[in-house]
Copies of this chain bind each other. A is one copy, B any other.
Amino acid sequence: MIRFGTVGTGFITEAFIKGAHKSGVMELTALYSRDEEKAQKFLHSMDLNVPVFTSLEEMASSPLIDAAYIASPNAMHSPQAKVFLTHGKHVLVEKAAASNKKELQEVLDLAEKNHLVFMEAMKSLTMPAYVLLKKLLPEIGQVRKYIGNYCQYSSRYDRHKAGEFVNTFQKEFSNGSLLDIGIYPLYIAVDLFGRPEKISAQATILPEGGVDGSGSILLSYKDMEAVILHSKISHSYLPSEIQGEKGSILIDRIGSPTELTLIRRSGEKEVFRPETYEEDMAYEALEFSETIRRGASFSPVSNKALALTVHEIMDEARSQIGLVYPRDLD
């Protein structure tokens, strides 16, 4: 059983704790928050009772935990991960795991040097529907086009427009549409098709906050092409799609796939809904703990080379759209 502490008290932390407990291989044993009261309220709402730390260093050095799950704003991911890795704890960190490739490389190197597991929590890669997708892919023949689509109107965008300071729309937090959600369809592209030969990016930059509200990236490969669509200021009702010469596969939600539709060129249609836990973060918890058991630093599913390539593409896309984070200047 992996005993873990969390950083962050948002809905994603709650979802992870539920998933981790569902997995049966991870158990919450500590919680960090700068705000003791907020932490107690959070624990109470989940009917949990574990020690609360208001110092990250103290939780990182506590013998109560083997690992940390980090779900703070993006800009804090890698600095916080370093604290845990320095104190001998494994780390699972929400996407984007770092503000840029350089930061990610440092954290990955530190994990490797300290013989600890570091994993970017790209949930989709670990889910049953995605495992099935990889098996189904040969059915559609030579792949010619991938449309990876994640456009979701953020509930916080209204508050942002009303002038409120919302940290998911601020450069200081290394946020924005690409790093927050565009990363999902991008991960799938790189995992399935490898490193593109060329990329072209565009985005709509929001005047307040200065991050990308919406954007698109072209990924050029030798015999195919991919298009990443993402937005936090408008909503899409289209699934993602992989088009092959013999048919296409539709993926319901690229960030947490549960249903695949295979349509052969003949028109024949098959729908696949592999059994999936409602607490779907259980799958990444299982992968994380299995990686620890193996004694490796990186999971074969969400691995070092993959993560670095994804972050390299995001850096290049941000360079093309002129989006510089304060952390890029460090």
Identify the A interface with B (CB < 8 A). 143-145, 147, 149, 151, 153, 198, 200-204, 213-216, 218-220, 223-225, 227, 229, 231, 233-239, 241, 243-245, 247-248, 250, 261, 263, 265
Contact = CB atoms under 8 A, between A and B. Distances in A.
A144 B213 contact: yes
4 tightest Cβ-Cβ pairs between the two chains A and B: A234-B243, A200-B200, A144-B234, A202-B220
Nearest to A140: B234
Given A151-B243, A202-B218, A237-B261, 19 more contacts: A144-B234, A145-B151, A145-B234, A145-B236, A147-B236, A153-B245, A200-B201, A202-B220, A204-B224, A216-B218, A216-B227, A234-B248, A235-B243, A235-B263, A235-B265, A236-B241, A236-B248, A237-B248, A238-B239
Nearest to A157: B245
A155 to B, nearest CB: 10
Given A144-B213, A213-B144, A227-B227, A233 B218 contact: no
Contact of A229 (B204, B215, B227, B235): B227
Contact of A245 (B234, B241, B263): B234
A8 to B, nearest CB: 27
Q: By CB atoms of chain B within 10 A, which of A153, A198, A202, A218 has the most?
A: A202
A308 to B, nearest CB: 23
Contact of A215 (B151, B225, B237): B225
Number of copies: 2
A265 to B, nearest CB: 6
A237 B231 CA distance: 21
A248 to B, nearest CB: 6
A243 to B, nearest CB: 4
B151 A214 contact: no
Contacts of A248: 234-237
Contacts of A151: 145, 243
Contacts of A218: 200-202, 216, 218
Nearest to A261: B237
A198 B320 CA distance: 12
Given A237-B250, A241-B237, A144 B225 contact: no
14 contacts: A144-B231, A145-B234, A200-B218, A202-B220, A202-B225, A204-B223, A214-B225, A216-B218, A227-B229, A231-B243, A234-B245, A235-B247, A235-B248, A238-B241
A73 to B, nearest CB: 23
Nearest to A215: B225
A255 to B, nearest CB: 17
Contacts of A143: 234
A206 to B, nearest CB: 10
Nearest to A232: B144
Contacts of A261: 237
Nearest to A320: B200
A237 B271 CA distance: 14
Contacts of A219: 202
B236 A243 contact: yes
